[in-house]
């Protein structure tokens, strides 16, 4: 595999494109929005600058990485000659099914079709194509250039040769692949999201405040980030979506999202991306300030 298409120029998509391009792969970064593609290139440039300043890469590597990325707003054109597609569009099942139907029509017959979904069934996505044996989950962690894990998810029909190829590719990207099977939430989010939800329930029920909950988990459990801060970082809308997938997939009330989370997402308080969630975020500031909505009056 030498030529890669990445669909979606958001946080995950630009990070995935960055990592492939930095490791010498030709990358077609695809998004319906030209503005999103321009923003993605700016983000990748800034992240590469940060790597240069830390001494982890050279200016030459930065230059070569950016040269390896070509942007497209036309999916058909962007995937017609690639060996692998990694879909990183919004976590919406209907959107992903439509994308994979289109990929099945326009990507080469031997291309592997991967999805970066964090919770949606690989088997369901694969069923939208006529090549389910070539569909697999390739779930990167955010921020992609930094985080080592790639959760590789086999759909019901995924061919072992495809799994082996993606495991080998992940190692070439200097990532650590972990292969799991296709059940709601896979492993990462099946374990993480109930913990985050329980932290939100504890806040909702008045057991403790935002800072107290996060401090207990950081200092008591050696987590680098508390669950409420992590939820803000992931995006509260994404957390809600994953919990809904778990709740629907297992039919178990323990996965039901906390009403506080539902209300916050409905009101548009999504965490870092909206400027406020459990904490308030100000551009240019690294101070962690609890949202005034959760400060005792």
Is 9 marked as binding a ligand? yes
Is 275 marked as binding a ligand? no
Is 47 marked as binding a ligand? no
Is 31 marked as binding a ligand? yes
Is 5 marked as binding a ligand? no
Active site residue 72: no
Whether the CB-CB separation of 108 and 134 falls below 8 Å is answered with no
User: Which residue among 68, 154, 189, 202 is the active-site one?
Assistant: 189
User: Which residue among 118, 119, 154, 202 is the active-site one?
Assistant: 118
Is 96 marked as binding a ligand? yes
Is 206 marked as binding a ligand? no
User: Which residue among 151, 154, 202, 241 is the active-site one?
Assistant: 151
Is 80 marked as binding a ligand? no
Is 13 marked as binding a ligand? yes
Is 118 marked as binding a ligand? yes
User: Which residue among 47, 139, 170, 276 is the active-site one?
Assistant: 139
Active site residue 118: yes
Is 185 marked as binding a ligand? no
Structure tokens at 254: 């323990």
Active site residue 189: yes
Residue where the block lists tokens 């995950």: 12
Is 181 marked as binding a ligand? no
Binding residues for NAD(+): 8-13, 31, 91, 96, 118, 142, 273
Binding residues: 8-13, 31, 91, 96, 118, 142, 273
Active site (catalytic) residues: 118, 139, 151, 189
């Amino acid at each position: 595999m030498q030529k890669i298409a990445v669909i979606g120029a958001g946080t995950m998509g630009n990070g995935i494109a960055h990592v492939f391009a930095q490791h010498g792969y030709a990358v077609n970064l695809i998004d319906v929005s030209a503005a999103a593609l321009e923003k993605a290139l700016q983000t990748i440039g800034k992240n590469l600058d940060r790597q240069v300043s830390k001494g982890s890469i050279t200016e030459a590597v930065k230059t070569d990485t950016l040269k390896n990325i070509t942007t497209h707003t036309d999916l058909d054109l962007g995937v017609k000659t690639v060996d692998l597609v990694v879909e990183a569009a919004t976590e919406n099942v209907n959107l992903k099914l439509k994308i994979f139907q289109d990929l099945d029509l326009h990507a080469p017959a031997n291309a592997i079709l991967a999805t970066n979904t964090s919770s949606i069934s690989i088997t369901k996505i694969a069923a939208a194509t006529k090549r389910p044996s070539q569909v697999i989950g390739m779930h990167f962690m955010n921020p992609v250039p930094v985080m080592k894990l790639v959760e590789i998810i086999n759909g019901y029909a995924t061919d072992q040769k495809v799994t082996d190829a993606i495991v080998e590719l992940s190692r070439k990207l200097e990532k650590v692949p972990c292969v799991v099977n296709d059940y709601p939430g896979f492993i990462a989010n099946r374990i993480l999201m109930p913990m985050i939800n329980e932290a939100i329930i504890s806040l909702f029920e008045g057991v403790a405040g935002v800072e107290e909950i996060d401090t207990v988990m950081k200092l008591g459990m050696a987590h680098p980030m508390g669950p409420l801060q992590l939820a803000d970082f992931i995006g509260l809308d994404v957390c809600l979506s994953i919990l809904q997938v778990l709740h629907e997939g297992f039919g178990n009330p323990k996965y039901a999202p906390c009403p506080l989370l539902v209300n916050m997402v409905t009101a548009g308080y999504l965490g870092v991306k909206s400027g406020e969630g459990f904490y308030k975020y100000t551009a240019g500031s690294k101070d962690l300030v609890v949202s005034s909505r959760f400060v005792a009056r």
